[in-house]
Amino acid sequence: MASFRWSAVTAGGEVVSGVDDAPDQAAIVERLQRQGQIVLSAEPADRRNLFAVLLHTELGLRRGVDRTTLGEVTRELAIMLTAGQDLDRALRFVVDNTGNSRARGLLAEVRDKVRAGSSLATSIAAYPQTFSKLYVGLVRAGEAGGALAATLDRLAALLERERSLRANLQAALIYPVILVVAAIASIVLLLEYVLPQFTPIFEQAGAELPAATRMLIALGAIVGVAGPWVLIGMLAAGLLLRRALAMPAFRIKADRLLLSLPTVGTLVREVLAARLTRTLGTLLENGVPLIVALSIAGEVLGNLAAAAALEAAALGAKGGRGLAAPLSETGVFPRRMIHLLQLGEEAAQLPAMALKAADIHDEQARQMMQRIVALAIPSITIVMGLVVAGIIGSLLTTMLSLNDLAQ
């Protein structure tokens, strides 16, 4: 007998977890399913040693397959199964044709587990670094309903849309980040290397320097001495912040603060709305009950404040109030999303309407990001130009005053 750590969703939509003894992983999954629970994960309790836990939680290193490769693998599996191939042959095809060595090794292990008699959901649940609870839950629902190919096709679409949204946001941020770094580097270069070249000239002239020039010289000296310590302090602060964000009590406060910010908060709400509705629509289309779907969706939002609001809405839905009204009372998600979900409930088309809402909020998030970047780039450029012009103007003014003294 071995000990297994598991987590599952009950019939009432509550996420539960525990540690039980069983002969193997398949036995613990079968026992939980007989109890009417949807298994999210089941792995040996002593699977990771202390060093591995510290490596994963403290440094954030992941050994799973990246989302791009996972989306490609999922799409290929869906195509093979739709073409009438059995699961073993589909997995063999994916293993043979995957260029990513890590994905190839992981899928080979999954195929071995399937050949040994485990279901696909149970096999992939052993690799939580790659396969999320949402992924495992959807595969399990697809296998139970005999629609694994269609489920994998929807999963691939879900992963592709999430990757597309993330890529658009990251691409929009690249140029402003580069511009800020270039601006800071230019200012530091002027203060620490260019300005000191003129200091001996000013000292030899014996003239009283303008206040602005004296301030710049002092600032350059401070940057030269304190610069490395400032970088070390920023790195230490970043590590402390990362550690603090790992604590739920601090993380939920930070997430609430993020949602309350004027422009950034609105963007985050749009991204959360797109993620929630796409996850919810995909789960409902695969036959997952609403309460269970809400519990799983809360796990993948990535914002504890939004997850808490979703949990409160799930309690209202359990009481027969539907979904849109409890979500509206939380005040976290955009009104457009609430209205679309309400229309879906009234027309008995909640899955389809949730997916349409996801497309709308995806586009809204992309447009908002473009507007923010369009405003940020000239603002950064103007500020950088004014600072550089101020430094150079101060130098020129001092040089001209020295020429006047020489005459």
Tens digits of per-residue pLDDT, 281-316? 888 887 888 888 888 888 778 888 888 888 888 888
Per-residue model confidence as pLDDT tens digits over 32-77: 777 777 666 677 765 444 334 333 333 333 456 787 888 888 888 8
Query: For the residues 239-246, what does the mean pLDDT come to?
Result: 84
Question: Any residues with CB less than 8 A from the CB of 6 and at least 6 apart, and which?
Answer: 17, 18, 19, 20, 28, 29, 32, 39, 41, 42, 43
pLDDT of residue 208: 65
At residue 19, does pLDDT exceed 50? yes
Instruction: Count CB-CB contacts under 10 A for residue 308.
Output: 17
pLDDT at 209: 67
pLDDT of residue 338: 92
- The model's pLDDT over 85-130, given as tens digits with 9 standing for 90+, comes to 888 888 888 888 887 788 888 888 988 888 888 888 888 888 888 8
Average pLDDT of the chain, as a whole number: 80
Q: What token pair was written down for 343?
A: 């229309």
Q: Are 30 and 117 in contact (CB under 8 A)?
A: no
284's tokens:
């409902």
- Whether the CB-CB separation of 354 and 344 falls below 8 Å is answered with yes
The closest of 109, 76, 75 to 94, measured between CA atoms, is: 76
How do residues 147-197 score in pLDDT, each as one tens digit? 888 888 888 888 888 787 777 777 777 888 888 888 888 888 887 777 777
Domain borders along the chain are 1-61, 157-407
CA 110/CA 94 separation, integer angstroms? 11
Cα distance between residue 96 and residue 73, in whole Å: 11
Taking domain 157-407, whether its CATH number is 3.40.50.300 is answered by no
CA distances from 261 to 64, 147, 254, 302, 365 (A): 33, 43, 11, 17, 15
Give dist(CA 118, CA 138) in Å, integer.
Answer: 16
Q: Which residue from 337, 189, 221 is spatially nearest to 276, judged by alpha carbons? A: 337
Residue whose C-alpha is closest to residue 90's, from 104, 78, 101: 78
Radius of gyration of the chain (CA): 28
d(CA 401, CA 205): 10
DSSP state of 64: S
Strand partners, 17: 7
Tell me which residue has tokens 């511009």: 179
- The span from the CA of 103 to the CA of 49, in Å, is 23
SS3 272: helix
- Whole-prediction pTM: 0.65
Sequence-separated (6 or more) residues with CB below 8 Å from residue 389: none
Distance of CA 78 to the CA centre of its chain: 25
